[in-house]
Structure 1
Amino acid sequence: MALRLQSSDDLSNNHQGRTRMKLSPSEVQQEMEKVRTNSYNQFIKRVRLRNVRGFHDETVEFKTPVTALVGTNGGGKSTILGSAALAYKNIKPGQFFPKAFVGDESMSDWSVEIEMVDKSVFRDRTFSRTAKFTQSKWRRDDFRERHVEYVEILRTVPAGEISRFKKFLAGNMDDFNTTPLNANTIKYATAVLDKSIEHYKIVQKKDNPAIKMYVGATDTVAGYSQFHFGAGEASVIETIDRIELAPDNALILIEEVENGLHPVAVRLFVQYLQNAAKRKKLQIVFTTHSQDAVNELPADAVWASINKRTWNGKLSIESLRAITGEIINTRVIYVEDNFVKEWVENALGRYGKGLAESTKVFAAGGYPNLVKVSQFHNENPLLAIPSVALVDGDIYDANTYPALPQHARFIGEGYPDATVFQYIYDNRVRLASIIRQRCFLSQFDEDRILGALQGVMNSACDHHLYFTELSQRLDFVSAVYIRGGMIDIFNEENAEFWTDIMEFVSAQIGAKKAA
């Protein structure tokens, strides 16, 4: 029997039954195009923070309907989230930026410039508004209204410790209404939690519906209150219910989206957010420390905030630790994505002459992001050993090559995954038996493997999908095994490809930075 590892799509399908949440790559691109062409009735395009909580002058651009803010503790994620909320006058600034009578004197210089789309103001272009903190209060002249749903981190505090639940410790049921959950809340929360909540209800105080509690039920319909929910269960149900009940075109802000959730539920929940944004034309911004959440989004949807500096791209949580000095006295190489990370790590082991044991490779997002990240690393006085950036060769041009800084260079002259796959394909007959062994394909004869390789090449699929496509043609044998095996074969056969790269890496990070 062929060994098969579950992909993100598998998890989505297995946990959702008939509920499809995950957007296809083409749907993701379509949603990004809507943002690019200003097709939303209301949308925050970018925020520029000046002197706000340590941000000197940083701009965050929202390029996708769902945006993740990642970064270190105190790095500025929540500040960016709050700056987005300032865009609409029905949100009180003090909810995100309260001023104490002592210690907050610097707030007098704060300003947030917000570029936005609002078809009721201008149908054919964006416009800007600036929120300023002057004379001990926020000035927001001529700001618009929009429904904003702010899902705070308090949602995962045990129900017994939240003041609004005290009303449910004793009382009269005549003061409360009990209603079934919204149908979409049931549908999507069931998908994320992998358990039926069709018998769950919501109990709300008649004279103040904001005082509410969810009531669960077992398969036998034995009831239990939210006091006895798990933190993750309560978080998912309440957040999804608030999103589904919010009007279309709303702005949804979520603190620490992964709080209380299992990694599988985190991935499914982010898939739900993308699905909800598409269905309801929502703009969603969330903070997170979860790599599982980041992995579900395109690179343009991820912003990293580190020491009040911002970068757009899929910086891994591990790479953030390296940039900020949590991983010290270690040589560091920054690359664009996980494929190149595995490729370079394999090459270091083969040709690094001892560098592999003392060097970490981190995925830091596409060009020019990884070059900027490496520069930031090298300017960090906490880090004694410099870093280098290895840039994908698909943007290589002899005329622009000198533009790369001293700490960066290209890997080859094409797309990394295409470089590896093309070499394997060109030499497939000679390498057939080795491919069978290294890629864990012993259940297939060589003709079947060669036919699958030919089929992938004939399909002209996106180079990012080569290994996934080959996996599908070989009864879903793990694409991870196939990719790793082909990387190993390529590197073994192409020592000369890595000679200059290894010499560059050794020269750049072989010694400590000068004091």
Structure 2
Amino acid sequence: MSEYKSEIRQSDIDNLEEKVARSNYRKYLKRVVLSKVRGFTDREVSFDFPVTALIGPNGGGKTTILGAAGLIYAEVPPRRFFAKSGKYDSSMKDWSVEYELIDRDINARISVSRVASFKQAKWNRTAVDRQVLIFGVERTVPATERRDLVKAAGGTFVAAAEVALSPEVSAHVAKILGRPIEGYNRLSVDKAGRVTLFAGSTPRGDQYSEFHFGAGEASIIRIVTAIEETEIGSLILIEEIENGLHPVATRRIVEYLIDVAARKSCQVIFTTHSNDALAPLPARAIWAAYSGEVLQGKLDIAALRTITGQIDAKLAIFVEDSFAQLVIEAALRSYGDIEINAIKIHAMGGAAPAMKVNEQHNVDPTSSFPSICLLDGDQASSANAEKSVFVLPGQASPEAHVFAQVYNRLDSVAAKLTVSMQLPTSRQEQVKRVVRERALTNRDKHVIWEQIGEDLDFTAGFIVSTSFLSIWAQEYPDEVRKLVDQFSDLVPKR
């Protein structure tokens, strides 16, 4: 198991988060309050990072939030996301969305408040000027199925104009798709250039039109071309970003969008069902929408399925991060007589989202199984057995605790630790030396497994961490039992 490593540097992520925190934008949507719209009542979504992912089950409200974000801007017609069909949409009465946004053209110093409401059979809004790009799911419809391209399908078709893709567009598309993009043109099907078709060429120079592209390839070229031509500070809305894309390309296009946010001060909001689309993003950039609720944090799709009861389980456990997830997995395996496959454990990207989703899950009358929350030792003050909130061993991070416990018995466990890390026993003295050196030099225990792995001929950090956990569980059975005993009455037994 290897963890995905984004090509976006953490310093770039930090800089973008700080830029939002300081409101250092000419135009930016800071938050929306869904006062009443579809399944939402008084739910707030803040945009704390310029690239925001919206996840959730079908019908959970992702597109509602996406549409609400664009509704206050004049370029977005309300019917694009919130059309009314006569008497059949009477539920739209009194819908309302509140906004806090930055627009230096309106107020150079402070945020601007706006409201969009549905009154007397139409939307009322004081719309704000901002360029908005919308990429709907129709972008991946094959060219052969698009009615607006019928004219281009004939054998005598000649484009009204041909424009070569810029070197910048070609470079970005090539990076996302993982292959060279050379000799590509944008063709105007009509004289006004409102309908376009792309054409490429093979390495031998043979031309071929978008009728012979993959849907994902055409989608990426279209998205990147429009974004590179858009104004600085534009809002970009994308539905189901992963449509037609390989998982690697999905990650790369999100990395591209983060780069666009940095280069052009653009703001991006997209919906997705893909964990690959979430991988490059920080926790504050992800919002889940489900059953009229919203939740900010580094959820993955599997965790969302657990929250919404779409999986068969007997217990859900929500923890802060991926290492805490490994800790509880190791403890449950060592505890014995537990039906491991009936327990779903999810890393939530922090204490706050772990506690919030646990609370929501346990008060949901439709939940068919209980959940608990396990926090790191430094969050012990938040433990509450009545709310099913417990703590992991140690007084700080679980990484620090597990490392310290194994380090305390390093001489006696060195051979087992070496074998567990898939190294020959003859290297146990080297393992001891490396572990002791890292105990002296490490400043952040969250990265110590990767550091030890690098010193041991680039052994994977995951192998190092699971090896330490295995030794910890074997050497400290009392800690394991004390940990699981906190919630043993909820644990499914064999």
Shift of 1:405: 4.6
- Which structure 2 residues correspond to residues 253-402 of structure 1 after superposition, within 5 A? 253-397=237-381, 400-402=382-384
CA–CA distance in structure 2, aligned partners of residues 34 and 352 of structure 1: 49
| CA shift digits 1:360-414 (9 cap, x unpaired) | 21223322212221222223333332111112222223xx545x75211121321
CA–CA distance in structure 2, aligned partners of residues 25 and 425 of structure 1: 30
What SS does structure 1 have at the residue aligned with 2:33?
strand
- Which structure 2 residues correspond to residues 23-422 of structure 1 after superposition, within 5 A? 23-141=8-126, 143-170=127-154, 176-205=160-189, 207-397=191-381, 400-402=382-384, 405-412=386-393, 413-422=395-404
Q: Is this contact kept in 1: 2:361–2:370, CA < 8 A? A: yes
Aligned to 1:494: 476
| Amino acid across the alignment from 2:463 | Y
Q: Is this contact kept in 1: 2:313–2:344, CA < 8 A? A: no
Q: Is this contact kept in 2: 1:305–1:311, CA < 8 A? A: yes
| Amino acid across the alignment from 1:351 | Y
- Shift in CA distance, 221/421, structure 1 to aligned 2, threshold 3 Å: farther
Shift of 1:58: 0.6
Query: Mean alpha-carbon deviation: is it higher for 240-249 or for 450-459?
Result: 450-459
Aligned to 1:8: 4
Shift of 1:497: 1.8
Aligned to 1:15: none
| CA shift digits 1:142-196 (9 cap, x unpaired) | x321111111111111111112222311386665111111222111110111111
| CA shift digits 1:431-461 (9 cap, x unpaired) | 3222211122339823433343344444434
Shift of 1:120: 2.3
- Shift in CA distance, 378/212, structure 1 to aligned 2, threshold 3 Å: same
5+ long unaligned stretches in structure 2? none
CA–CA distance in structure 1, aligned partners of residues 264 and 240 of structure 2: 22
| CA shift digits 1:75-131 (9 cap, x unpaired) | 000000001101312211111110011321121111110111122233332221111
Q: Is this contact kept in 2: 1:456–1:469, CA < 8 A? A: yes
Whether 2:406 is the aligned partner of 1:424: answer: yes
Query: Mean alpha-carbon deviation: is it higher for 358-367 or for 129-138?
Result: 358-367
Q: Is this contact kept in 2: 1:385–1:509, CA < 8 A? A: no
CA–CA distance in structure 1, aligned partners of residues 296 and 306 of structure 2: 17
Q: Is this contact kept in 1: 2:338–2:491, CA < 8 A? A: no
CA–CA distance in structure 1, aligned partners of residues 159 and 371 of structure 2: 64
- Shift in CA distance, 336/428, structure 1 to aligned 2, threshold 3 Å: same
CA–CA distance in structure 1, aligned partners of residues 426 and 205 of structure 2: 50
Aligned to 1:472: 454
| Amino acid across the alignment from 2:4 | S
| CA shift digits 1:299-325 (9 cap, x unpaired) | 111101111210000112111111111
- Shift in CA distance, 82/359, structure 1 to aligned 2, threshold 3 Å: same
| Amino acid across the alignment from 1:88 | Y
Instruction: Provide the aligned length of Structure 1 versus Structure 2.
Output: 492
What SS does structure 2 have at the residue aligned with 1:8?
coil
Query: Mean alpha-carbon deviation: is it higher for 454-463 or for 279-288?
Result: 454-463
CA–CA distance in structure 1, aligned partners of residues 47 and 148 of structure 2: 34
- Shift in CA distance, 6/329, structure 1 to aligned 2, threshold 3 Å: closer
CA–CA distance in structure 1, aligned partners of residues 17 and 476 of structure 2: 39
Whether 2:436 is the aligned partner of 1:440: answer: no
CA–CA distance in structure 2, aligned partners of residues 461 and 227 of structure 1: 55
Query: Mean alpha-carbon deviation: is it higher for 244-253 or for 425-434?
Result: 425-434
| Amino acid across the alignment from 1:407 | S
| CA shift digits 1:10-67 (9 cap, x unpaired) | xx7xxxxxxxxx2211221111010011011111111110220110111011111111
CA–CA distance in structure 2, aligned partners of residues 305 and 268 of structure 1: 24
Query: Mean alpha-carbon deviation: is it higher for 478-487 or for 250-259?
Result: 478-487
TM-score normalised by structure 2 residue count: 0.94
Whether 2:481 is the aligned partner of 1:485: answer: no
TM-score normalised by structure 1 residue count: 0.90
- Structure 1 runs (4+) deviating above 6 angstroms are none
Shift of 1:429: 3.5
- Shift in CA distance, 151/458, structure 1 to aligned 2, threshold 3 Å: farther
What SS does structure 1 have at the residue aligned with 2:317?
strand
5+ long unaligned stretches in structure 1? 13-21
What SS does structure 2 have at the residue aligned with 1:188?
helix
Aligned to 1:16: none
Q: Is this contact kept in 2: 1:396–1:414, CA < 8 A? A: no
Q: Is this contact kept in 1: 2:51–2:258, CA < 8 A? A: yes
What SS does structure 2 have at the residue aligned with 1:103?
helix
- Shift in CA distance, 199/469, structure 1 to aligned 2, threshold 3 Å: farther
CA–CA distance in structure 2, aligned partners of residues 401 and 386 of structure 1: 17
CA–CA distance in structure 2, aligned partners of residues 54 and 205 of structure 1: 41
Shift of 1:353: 2.9
Structure 1 vs Structure 2: percent identity of aligned residues?
A: 35
| Amino acid across the alignment from 2:98 | E
Q: Is this contact kept in 2: 1:348–1:355, CA < 8 A? A: no
What SS does structure 2 have at the residue aligned with 1:480?
helix
CA–CA distance in structure 2, aligned partners of residues 457 and 220 of structure 1: 58
What SS does structure 2 have at the residue aligned with 1:389?
strand
Q: Is this contact kept in 2: 1:69–1:287, CA < 8 A? A: yes
